Amino acid sequence: MSVETTTVSVPEGRPALLLAEYETPGACMKAAAKLRDAGFTKFDTHTPFPVHGMDAAMGMGDSKLGWIVLVMGITGLMTGIALITYANGIDYPIIVGGKPAISIPAYVPVCFELTILLSAFGAVFGMFGLNQLPRHHHPIFESDRFKAATDDKFFVSVEYADPKFDADRTPELVASTHPNHIEIIEDTES
């Protein structure tokens, strides 16, 4: 393979990522599809703008976030019902406005708001958790070329931690997708 390969290494680092740079979104998407077909799961694409069809090319399934939000929303709803039933109906029953102590319509605003609140918490913090955030540093930022990911270049990164990763064959596989350039990035953390 004639693709130029460089290594960005730091003291005591170990190989963490294989970063391939592409000129066009199409080449990037083809590379992603090739990795998907080879059974890779721990790889990502980095593009300056959303590329239609990339999710399918990467073989991404449904996000789990919806389920987290659903569970949190139901928890909020139940919390609201339990709170009002206990406070107004059991612990301190009091007639307000001639309505019964346990009065379903009066539940709705509080239960609705709690459902929304916990759903929103589920969405925001669930997203944080699934993305392993907050994370102050990622080895990919060791690459100078990677800055172009927000400008005019398209990247595919493969983690060394992927079960399919092979130190010899994976760079060859990536090189066969015609990248501009390949970089091996080492982790600075450990």
Q: Point out which residues bind another protein (CB under 8 A).
A: 50, 52-53, 62, 66, 70, 97-99, 105-106, 108-109
The span from the CA of 77 to the CA of 67, in Å, is 15
* CB 152, min distance to another protein, A: 19
CB 88 within 8 A of CB 99: no
Nearest to another protein of 25, 139 (CB atom):
25
Q: How far is the CB of 59 from another protein (least distance, A)?
A: 17
DSSP 50-97: --TTHHHHHT----THHHHHHHHHHHHHHHHHHHHIIIIIIIS---BT
Note whether 6 and 142 are within 8 A (CB). no
**CB nearer to another protein: pick between 70 and 82:** 70
9 token code pair: 């290494």
Give 120 or 175: the residue with its C-beta nearer to another protein. Answer: 120
Min dist CB 86 to another protein, Å, is: 21
Q: Which is nearer to another protein, 63 or 176 (CB)?
A: 63
CB 20 within 8 A of CB 31: yes
Of 53 and 129, which has the nearer Cβ to another protein? Answer: 53
Residue whose C-alpha is closest to residue 18's, from 5, 28, 2, 30: 5
